[in-house]
Structure formats: C-alpha cells, structure tokens
C-alpha cells in the first residue's frame, strides 16, 4: 500500500517539483481515522503566477504537436493509471474515505477517460460543408485556446481531474491544476503519473492550496482564458463573477438534488438496490446522489420499510476494510452540516425513520462517520427536499401519479440526475422527455455515468456546458471556420449566389 506517511510534497511547475514561494505547508489527514497523509505546499498568488507563466510558454510548443501524438501520451497515461490502480485505490480510501470498490471505480473512470480522450487525438472532428458558390471550399476546425485553469473538488479526486485535464491537453491546451485541499495527495499522484507518461514540461502543472489563495488567483489571472470548475453552487457563482472581467470560457459543474421516482408498477427489490446505492454510495457525497425518493402512494409503506431495513444493516467503517459499506464523510464541517440538516428535517416535521446521528464506538470516533439517514413523510418544499446536503441522508416523498412525480422531481433549483423505476414503457418515455435534468436513468439509480456520453446538468447545476464525451471538447476548443476560394475572382456570399445559372 502506497500511503504517503508524513512526507512533505511539492508543487509541480515547469517540469520541476518546488515548494510554495512562501515556504508554508498544510497537512492532509484521513477522514477515516485522523492519520496524517502528508504535508503540502500552502501556495499563494505568486505560485499561481509562476505556473501560469510556464504553462503559457509550454502552450506555444504543445499546440503544434500533432494531436495523435498528444493522444499517445494519454494512452501511456491510461496504462500507468492501470498499473497503479491498486495503490491509488488504497490511497483514496485513506485520503478521501470512500470504500475500496468505489475508489477503484474512481480510478477506472480516469483510465477510461484517458483511453477515450487519447482516441480523440485521431478524431477532433470538424465539419466540411458545400459552399453556395462555385470553386470554393469550406470547413470548420477545432483550435486550442491556451492555458486552462482546472479547479476540482475532493469527492472524485482522480476521476474529476481526468475529466478536465485530458480533453484540455489532447486539444492542445496546457493546464494549471488546483486540486481540493482535502485530497492533495491524490492530485499529486495524478500529475506524477501523467508526467511519467511523457508530457513535456509546463504542459501540466499542479499548485496546491486553498480556494481563496490559489483558486481565486487562477480564475482572475489574465493569461488563463479557460476555467473549468467543479464544486458547490456558491463557489461556482463566485468563480463566474471573478472571471467575468476577463470574458473567459467558464465551465461549471455544480450541485445536485437528484431524485429517484418509484412508480406502483416498479420492481421494488430492484428499486431498493438502486436507492441504497445512489443515496449512500460515497456516503452520499456525490453530485449525483439520490437525496430524494419520490414514491407512489400505493407502494410507499412497503418501499419505506424495505429501505430502512436494508440501511440498518449497513456497516460503517474505514473504506479500506472489506466489510465496510459506508465510509466517513470528508471532514468535521461536513459532518456538522449533515447533522444540522437532520435537525432541520425534524423541525420541519419530517419523520426520521432511521439514522440521524453521528456514529461512534468501535473506533469510529477517530473519524467523521454519520449514520445513514432516511426521512419519511417529507413534503416537496421542505429544506431537506430542496437543498444539497451532500451526505448520507435521503428524503421519501409520497406522490399520487406520474405528473405529480415529475413536477416534484423538477421542483428544485438543480438539474443534474434523475431516475424512474417503472415497468411501463409509456411512463418511462414520458419521464425521459419531461424530467428536467442533464442525465436520466430508467430502472437504475441516479448514478452510473460513462465517459463517452456528456455529463452535466441543467438549471443551477451548471452553465450549459458538459464534461465527458465529445461535448467536453467544446469547453476546451474554439471553432474556426475556414473558407478557401479557388475561383480566382471575387465571389460575394449571399449576393453572387443569385446569379448562379441552372443547367
Ligand atoms: P467547493 O466549491 O467548496 O470547492 C471546489 C474547489 O473550488 C476546491 O478546489 C476549492 O478549493 C476551490 N475554491 C473554493 N473557493 C474558491 C474561489 N473563491 N475561487 C476559486 N476556487 C475556489 O466544493 P467541494 O466541497 O469541494 O465539493 C462539493 C460540491 O461539488 C458539491 O456541491 C457537489 O455537488 C459538487 N460537485 C459537482 C459535480 C458535478 O459534476 N456537477 C461533481 C462533483 C461534485
């Protein structure tokens, strides 16, 4: 197991491992047992400026490297990630806290993305269209943009950096990456392996530190034309405002308040599997977590009792123990926030069916563990049914028919993921059409995205962009339209077309 121990780590700027200019450090500790992972540079604006300057110089060379060659580095990176999958997984169970199977899935997502985006090196398709004039050719091509600022959260500490850095780099951009300060060791390993795959110096830089010291400077830096950010809605709004003077491309992936609908014709056992996985996987700390379950009144009591009995069998513990079902939440303030929502739910009159407390005993006091929590008799307008809790808490809401279910599902400010369990194909297609989210699942929970389809949400979940799939390339490239006139004379579009004789 490659645990970092108490080692001191550095930033990676212009191909060199360096300390923060101010010489300060911060510690990363495990949410599972409080053990120290390592010390990391507490960087500031000066470090960001150095990384951006290096990235800007590297860009002028990197953008000219043929895209298939850039893709080959991504393929090598995919292989390195696969070789190191076990130690990255183990580190993730310690630093971020998720259970081993999910941590391995997080790493696998980055492997998949590296192969997918490596392939883009031989695609990056543009269009050709016929001209309205004779002897004229036209096409559109994707062009790289420059230095990308990538700011990531802690909940997918390998996968999310891959969603951002891989399409950015294969498209010919260079990157300054700021990982979340709760998971710096994983960010560091990610960059180390990517560099080992053969990236030239300056193409990928990592600057550790806090949002206000490092993130903000990156967002405001005049030489960073693209910001790709995943995090909370509040920070996303601040990022948008800070980037507005520079008229930057701002790509945001923000919060969710995702719902699973269970109709009266659903396979209830399958629905319970989907609900438990979606609500309590990653201790509910997924942007796609099912924090609402919208249940037809005819099956409500049966479903509620099956969910509660399943949840009460779940074992809390460190992610690295095989028998653990639910790991810790990320830190003390997350634990406090989650518990505050339990109090809010009780005050609002929801019925606490199980959980609702900080877990203790059997060594759990050393970490940040919260009992999986289910509220029943929740009204759609209650705060626990409207606000993102980002913890192992879900709310059961009773409905009478599909129209009401869809209205309740849509009745939140976020629009990331949605799901319906039903045996009726007509209901399924209506839900696919009418659920106002970027992702909809049929007879599966709210989790399960794959790297080759667009990922992102409507409404306050983002600002209209998508990660993953070919859609991600739109964030990291500009379209250039090119017209080549080989007629040898002036041909005026929209004007000379009228004189075109038909045979
Ligand atoms: P956060 O907003 O607190 O932090 C995200 C990142 O932004 C961190 O690296 C942080 O240091 C940085 N940051 C903070 N303030 C900043 C500022 N002023 N300028 C620039 N950067 C700043 O979010 P978090 O707690 O790390 O993550 C949880 C949130 O992320 C949840 O709301 C969750 O739904 C969301 N999320 C969304 C997706 C998605 O794809 N839609 C995926 C995962 C997580």
Rounded Cα distance, 78 and 59, in Å: 22
Lowest mean pLDDT among 91-95, 135-139, 496-500: 496-500
Q: Which atom of ligand 1 is nearest to the CA of 253?
A: 41
- Dihedral sign computed on CA atoms, order 62, 64, 67, 72: negative
Continuous H helices in 349-424? 402-410
Q: Mind listing the pLDDT tens digit for each residue in 421-476?
A: 999 999 999 999 999 999 999 999 999 999 999 999 999 999 999 999 999 999 99
- Dihedral sign computed on CA atoms, order 344, 347, 353, 359: positive
56 Cα to the center of ligand 1, angstroms: 25
The owner of tokens 């269009």 is: 127
| pLDDT surpassing 70 at residue 1 | no
The overall average pLDDT reported for the chain is 97
For ligand 1, atom 19, name the residue with the nearest CA. Answer: 216
Percentage of residues of the chain with pLDDT beyond 70: 99
Rounded Cα distance, 190 and 208, in Å: 13
Q: Which atom of ligand 1 is nearest to the CA of 180?
A: 9
Give 502's contacts (C-beta < 8 A, 6+ positions apart).
none
- Please choose, from the candidates 480, 492, 479, 503, the residue with its C-alpha nearest in 3D space to the C-alpha of residue 131: 492
287, 321, 388, 478: which is the annotated catalytic residue? 287
Does ligand 1 lie within 6 Å of residue 155's CB atom? yes
pLDDT for 272: 98
Residues across the chain: 503
Name the pLDDT band for 498 (thresholds 50, 70, 90): confident
Does ligand 1 lie within 6 Å of residue 388's CB atom? yes
The separation between CA 220 and the C-alpha centre of its own chain, rounded to angstroms, equals 22
Residue 40 tokens read as 């990391």
Catalytic status, residue 253 = yes
Does ligand 1 lie within 6 Å of residue 187's CB atom? no
| pLDDT surpassing 70 at residue 2 | no
Catalytic status, residue 61 = no
For ligand 1, atom 23, name the residue with the nearest CA. Answer: 231
On the CB side of 268, CA atoms within 13 Å amount to: 14
Give me the DSSP letters along 295-319: EETTTHHHHHHHHHHHHHT--B--T
Does ligand 1 lie within 6 Å of residue 112's CB atom? no
Out of 113, 232, 336, 414, mutate this one to test ligand 1's pocket (max ligand atoms within 8 Å of CB): namely 232
Residue 315 to residues 14, 168, 323, Cα–Cα distance (Å)? 45, 40, 7
Does ligand 1 lie within 6 Å of residue 330's CB atom? no
pLDDT for 110: 98
Does ligand 1 lie within 6 Å of residue 211's CB atom? yes
Out of 45, 183, 235, 240, mutate this one to test ligand 1's pocket (max ligand atoms within 8 Å of CB): namely 235
239 Cα to the center of ligand 1, angstroms: 10
Out of 153, 254, 335, mutate this one to test ligand 1's pocket (max ligand atoms within 8 Å of CB): namely 153
Q: What is the largest CA-CA distance in the chain?
A: 89
Q: Are 95 and 183 in contact (CB under 8 A)?
A: yes
Residue 496 to residues 418, 481, 492, Cα–Cα distance (Å)? 51, 20, 5
pLDDT for 293: 98
Q: Mind listing the pLDDT tens digit for each residue in 199-254?
A: 999 999 999 999 999 999 999 999 999 999 999 999 999 999 999 999 999 999 99
Residue 140 tokens read as 């559109």
Give me the DSSP letters along 9-41: --EEETTEEE--TT--EEEEE-TTT--EEEEEE
Q: Mind listing the pLDDT tens digit for each residue in 334-385?
A: 999 999 999 999 999 999 999 999 999 999 999 999 999 999 999 999 999 9
On the CB side of 87, CA atoms within 13 Å amount to: 12
Helix (H, G, I), strand (E, B) or coil at 168: helix
Does ligand 1 lie within 6 Å of residue 119's CB atom? no
| pLDDT surpassing 60 at residue 184 | yes
Give me the DSSP letters along 450-462: -TTS-B--EETTB
Helix (H, G, I), strand (E, B) or coil at 245: coil
- Please choose, from the candidates 413, 386, 411, the residue with its C-alpha nearest in 3D space to the C-alpha of residue 233: 413
Rounded Cα distance, 114 and 161, in Å: 11
Could you tell me the strand order of the sheet in which 127-130 lies? Answer: 127-130, 136-143, 478-485
pLDDT for 502: 78
Q: Are 96 and 155 in contact (CB under 8 A)?
A: yes
pLDDT for 6: 67
């Amino acid at each position: 197991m490659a645990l970092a121990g108490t080692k001191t780590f550095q930033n990676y700027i212009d191909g060199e491992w360096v300390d923060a200019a101010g010489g300060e450090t911060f510690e990363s500790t495990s949410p599972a047992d409080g053990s120290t992972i390592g010390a990391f540079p507490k960087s500031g604006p000066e470090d960001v400026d150095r990384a951006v300057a290096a990235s800007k110089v590297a860009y002028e060379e990197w953008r000219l490297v043929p895209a298939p060659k850039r893709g080959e580095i991504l393929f090598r990176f995919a292989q390195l990630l696969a070789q190191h999958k076990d130690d990255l997984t183990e580190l993730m169970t310690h630093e971020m806290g998720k259970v081993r199977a999910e941590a391995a899935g997080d790493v696998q997502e980055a492997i998949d993305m590296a192969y997918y985006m490596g392939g883009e090196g031989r695609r990056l398709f543009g269009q050709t269209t016929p001209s309205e004039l004779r002897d004229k050719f036209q096409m559109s091509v994707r062009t790289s943009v420059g230095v990308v600022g990538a700011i990531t959260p802690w909940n997918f500490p390998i996968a999310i950096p891959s969603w951002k850095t891989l399409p950015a780099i294969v498209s010919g951009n260079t990157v300054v990456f700021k990982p979340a300060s709760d998971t710096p060791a994983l960010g560091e390993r990610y960059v180390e392996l990517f560099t080992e795959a053969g990236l030239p110096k300056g193409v990928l830089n990592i600057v550790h530190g806090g949002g206000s010291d490092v993130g903000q400077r990156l967002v405001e830096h005049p030489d960073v034309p693209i910001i790709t950010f995943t995090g909370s809605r509040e920070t996303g709004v601040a990022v948008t405002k800070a980037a507005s003077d520079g008229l930057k491309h701002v790509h945001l992936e923000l919060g969710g308040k995702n719902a699973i609908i269970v109709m009266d014709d659903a396979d209830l056992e399958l629905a319970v599997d989907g609900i438990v996985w979606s609500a309590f996987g990653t201790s509910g700390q997924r942007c796609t977590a099912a924090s609402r379950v919208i249940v037809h009144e005819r099956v409500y009591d049966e479903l509620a009792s099956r969910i509660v009995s399943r949840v009460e069998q779940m074992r809390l513990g460190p992610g690295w123990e095989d028998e653990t079902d639910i790991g810790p939440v990320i830190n003390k303030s997350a634990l406090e926030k989650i518990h505050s929502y339990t109090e809010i739910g009780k005050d609002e009159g929801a019925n606490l069916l199980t959980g609702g407390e900080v877990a203790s005993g059997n060594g759990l006091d050393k970490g940040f563990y919260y009992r999986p929590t289910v509220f029943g008799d929740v009204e759609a307008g209650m705060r626990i049914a409207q606000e993102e809790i980002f913890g192992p808490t879900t709310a059961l809401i009773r409905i009478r028919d599909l129209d009401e279910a869809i209205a309740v599902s849509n009745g939140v400010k976020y629009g990331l993921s949605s799901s319906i369990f039903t045996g009726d194909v007509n209901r399924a297609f209506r839900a696919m059409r009418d659920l106002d989210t970027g992702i909809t699942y049929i007879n599966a929970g709210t989790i399960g995205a794959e790297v080759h389809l667009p990922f992102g949400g409507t409404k306050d979940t983002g600002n209209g962009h998508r990660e993953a799939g070919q859609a991600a390339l739109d964030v990291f490239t500009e379209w250039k339209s090119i017209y080549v006139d080989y007629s040898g004379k002036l041909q005026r579009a929209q004007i000379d077309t009228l004189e075109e004789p038909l045979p």
